[in-house]
Structure formats: C-alpha cells, structure tokens
Amino acid sequence: MTEAWDALAELAVHGANVQPDQIVTVSAVIGQETLARAVAAAAYARGARFVDVFYFDPWVKRARAENADPDTLEFVPAWYGERALQHARSHGARITFAGHADLNAMDGVDPVLAGRDRLPYLREISEITAGRLTNWCIVPCPHPAWASIVYPQLNGDDAYARLWRELEHVLRLDEPDPRRAWEERTAQLSDAADRLTARRFDALELRGPGTNLRVGMLPTHRWLSADFTTVDGLAHLPNLPTEEIFTSPDPFRAEGYVSSTRPLALFDGTIVRGLRVRFEKGVAVAIDAEENADALRSRLAVDDGGLRLGEVALVDGHGRIGELGTVFFDTLLDENAASHLALGSGFPFAVGEEHGGRVNRSGAHIDFMVGSPEVDVDGVSAEGALVPVLRGGDWQI
C-alpha cells in the first residue's frame, strides 16, 4: 500500500503546485495520518520550508455538543481564523483531505446543536479563496470506515479495496501519466467553460423531476474550470478529482424550486437525504428534506448570505465519477458526478471587478447536487429565448 499512498500524496502536492520555500498547511481528521505523512514527505521533497498538519477530532466536537452551553457552540477562538489569514498573507499552500474516517462520532447528537458548531470549517477560508491568496488542493483520503458506508453490501476488506480502486480510477491514478491525463481533462473543461461564457446568458433554467428553477447571471460572469491561478500567477488544481465548470450567479435572482439528486454529506458526516429548496427573489425561503433538514438549516444560519446562491456548477456526462453510479457520501466526489448549486459564499474572480462586489458573501458554502440525465439545463438569452445547454449529460453548445 505504500506506493498507493505515495502516488496519492504526489498528486495532492502536484494539484496544489507546492513551491520551494512555501509553508504548506495540511488539514486532516484523526484517522488520516498515513496520507498526511506521505503528503508531508512529498511537499518537503519539492522544497517546502515547513509542513503544518492540523488534525480535527470529531469526538471532541461531540463532547462539546453534548456538554457545553448551547449558547457557546458558535464560538470559534479568534486565533483559528487569524492562523489561516496569516498563512494566506504569506501566500502559502493548502492541502485538505476529504472523505470520512469515523462515522459514529456524532451518532445520536442533536443535529441542530452539532450544526451550530461549524468546525472544522472556518469562515475565513471563503475570504482566502475569494482573494486567491493561496494555492490549494483537496483530495480524497481512503479509509475503511468510509468504505463501509459507500459499499455496505461488502465486507470490510473488500469494501476498502473497492474504494481504493474507484478512487484511483476517478483520480486518474490508473493512467500511465496521471498529470498528463488531468491536463487533458482540464483542457476539455476549460473549452466548455469558454464556449458557455461566450454565450453571455442572462439566466439558466434547470428542469427535471422535482426541479423547475431559474437562476439569474451577473452581466460579466465567466464560466471557469477548476484550474485556478493565484494573485501571484501560480496555477493549481483546487479539487482532485474535478469534472465541473462553474460560475457565481446573481444572488438576488433565483426563482422556483429544486430537488437534490444525491444525498448531501455535511462536514461532520451528517447525511441530508431528499433535500428540496424553494427560492423567492434569490432567497431560499424553504429548505426541507427527508432527513436532517434542521442540520442543514443550522449550518446556513451563520449570516443572511447563507440562504442565497454563491455558485452554479455544471457537470457533463463524460467524467469518471458519474459513470460509476457510486454515491460516495462526500461532496468532493459527489458534486463532480452531477451539476450542483452552492448556498453561501461565491467567487468574485468568476465575475470580475466591475460586478464582483455583487457576488454573494457568507461564512458558509454548502454544495448540493441537483443534476442528472433527466435534468435539462437551458440558457436564457437577454431577449428571453431558451437555448439548450445540457441534455442527457451532453453539451449542446
């Protein structure tokens, strides 16, 4: 397994494009130590000055939810955010692990109380991302506990082996040259983004089972692939795997309703199933679900922007995640299997200086999947004409 961990670590460091003399922060949870150590070795081999690994313990979060004064659960020490901001001011690199390493830590805890404690998420991360201050990458970290929820029909060893196989496939680690494979895929995505940007649609419409939503676009919006550049001109891939193109919409122009097409796994492992959201004048006025709607509402209650859209992302049917048919119960992977929306903070750099100030600002950013082959996506021209964009997962532009 050492070679597999090393290959994953090398891809993470490549995705973040770690530079000589950079300070690298690694965000992990207890149980992800093997990958953290491999990433540290790979980063130092590329010349990193220092690698700082931060481990979050969900059992400590549980202890807080069960025993602390509920009125204190939203408190986060100022130095948590300042630590992230100081690192960003030094233009360091960030690597974060997705996936689950312990699925029982929050079992039986009131999801509303758990949601008031938003750690390990920090609202400052939205500010750092919007400012393009760091080069960063999120990668999945395999773990037997995660495998058990993705493949409940398999025994532990078989489930873990299958998780590794499928992650290696969607990460293109099964290619002779994974880096070249990602260059080719991001070029395809960037081409689709450029073609969609050129149409300058006034809005998008999504229609399908349980979905009829119109989302307004800002005049200078641009569609982007997850091929970012920092303010210093340093290219990096913030998400691996990535199969999306995205932009930030007008936060005051969303009308209609939308239904999720995949379960949503929140940061602490709470799973929201059967999510339905209704928008009026850009605001999510109703958030319902078959399970854990209150948990999601509590996480969005951080500010007024939590109930407006910050991102619209489209995913075609030619990526590697959707074709598997696997629900990973992890947003990094599931959002790249289907088109999705995000409530909360947006990306000013996707709009430009002229209208960047109109992009939604929030301490939250929660993606949820709304796409499927049955969901049609149309662009709406300035004259109100509907132009097919996605049909059955195929681009129409």
Whether the full predicted model's pTM is greater than 0.85, yes or no, is yes
> For residue 143, is pLDDT > 80?
yes
Q: What span, in angstroms and rounded, lies between the C-alpha atoms of 121 and 369?
A: 20
Pairing of β 203-208 and β 211-216: antiparallel
Give 140 or 352, the one with higher predicted confidence.
Answer: 140
Average pLDDT over residues 53-73: 94
Average pLDDT over residues 89-100: 96
Selection from 227, 253, 259 nearest residue 240 by Cα: 227
- Report pLDDT digits (tens) over 280-307: 999 999 999 999 999 899 889 889 999 9
Residue-level pLDDT at 357: 85
Residue-level pLDDT at 104: 79
- Report pLDDT digits (tens) over 372-396: 999 999 999 999 999 999 999 999 9
Give backbone dihedrals phi and psi of 88, rounded to 5 degrees, phi first: -65, -35
**Which of 90-104, 164-178, 261-275 is the most confident on average?**
164-178
pLDDT band for position 156 (50/70/90)? very high
Task: Give the percent of the chain with pLDDT over 90.
Answer: 86
Quote the mean pLDDT of the chain.
94
Q: What span, in angstroms and rounded, lies between the C-alpha atoms of 76 and 72?
A: 9
- Report pLDDT digits (tens) over 333-346: 999 999 999 999 99
> For residue 1, is pLDDT > 80?
no
Q: Which amino acid is at 154?
A: L
- Report pLDDT digits (tens) over 173-195: 999 999 999 999 999 999 999 99
Domains and CATH numbers, the chain: 2-142 (3.40.1830.10), 190-229+241-395 (no CATH)
Q: Three-state SS across 241-306?
A: CCCEEEECCCCCCEEEEEECCCCEECCCCCEEECCEEEEECCEEEEEECCECHHHHHHHHCCCHHH
Q: What span, in angstroms and rounded, lies between the C-alpha atoms of 181 and 168?
A: 13
Residue-level pLDDT at 121: 85
Sign for the pseudo-dihedral over CA of 23, 365, 99, 119: positive
Of 85-89, 98-102, 174-178, give the lowest mean pLDDT range: 98-102
Selection from 253, 391, 249, 362 nearest residue 304 by Cα: 362
Residue-level pLDDT at 226: 84
Residue-level pLDDT at 387: 97
Of 91-95, 208-212, 309-313, 354-358, give the lowest mean pLDDT range: 354-358
DSSP 160-197: HHHHHHHHHHHTTTTSSSHHHHHHHHHHHHHHHHHHHH
> For residue 356, is pLDDT > 90?
no
Task: Give the percent of the chain with pLDDT over 70.
Answer: 100
pLDDT band for position 150 (50/70/90)? very high
Residue-level pLDDT at 148: 95
